[in-house]
Structure 1
Amino acid sequence: HNLKIDYSLNLQIKNFILYHKLNNTFKIDDL
C-alpha cells in the first residue's frame, strides 16, 4: 500500500517539475 502511495506521489512530483520546466521554457504562464 505504501509503495503505491509513494509511486503516485513520485509521479505527481515528476509531473509538477516537468510542468514547470515547460513553463520556464515556453512561458506557458503568459496564457
Structure 2
Amino acid sequence: MAARLQDVDRPRRWLLPAVLALLVAIVVVGALLT
C-alpha cells in the first residue's frame, strides 16, 4: 500500500508544476496576442 501511495504521489509532484507552467504559458501567449 505504501509503495502504491508513493507511485500516486510521484506523478502529482511533477504534474502540478507542469499544469502551472502551462497556465502561465497560456496567459503569456494571450497577453502577447492581445
What's the TM-score once normalised by structure 2's chain length?
0.65
Poorly superposed stretches of 4+, deviation over 4 Å:
none
Structure whose alpha-carbon radius of gyration is higher: 2
Aligned residues between the structures: 26
Structure 2 unaligned segments of length 5 or more: list them: 1-8
Q: CA RMSD in A?
A: 0.8
Larger relative CO (CA 8 A, sep 6+): 1 or 2? 1
Identity score, percent: 0
Stretches of structure 1 lacking an aligned partner (at least 5 in a row)? 27-31
TM-score, normalising length: structure 1: 0.69
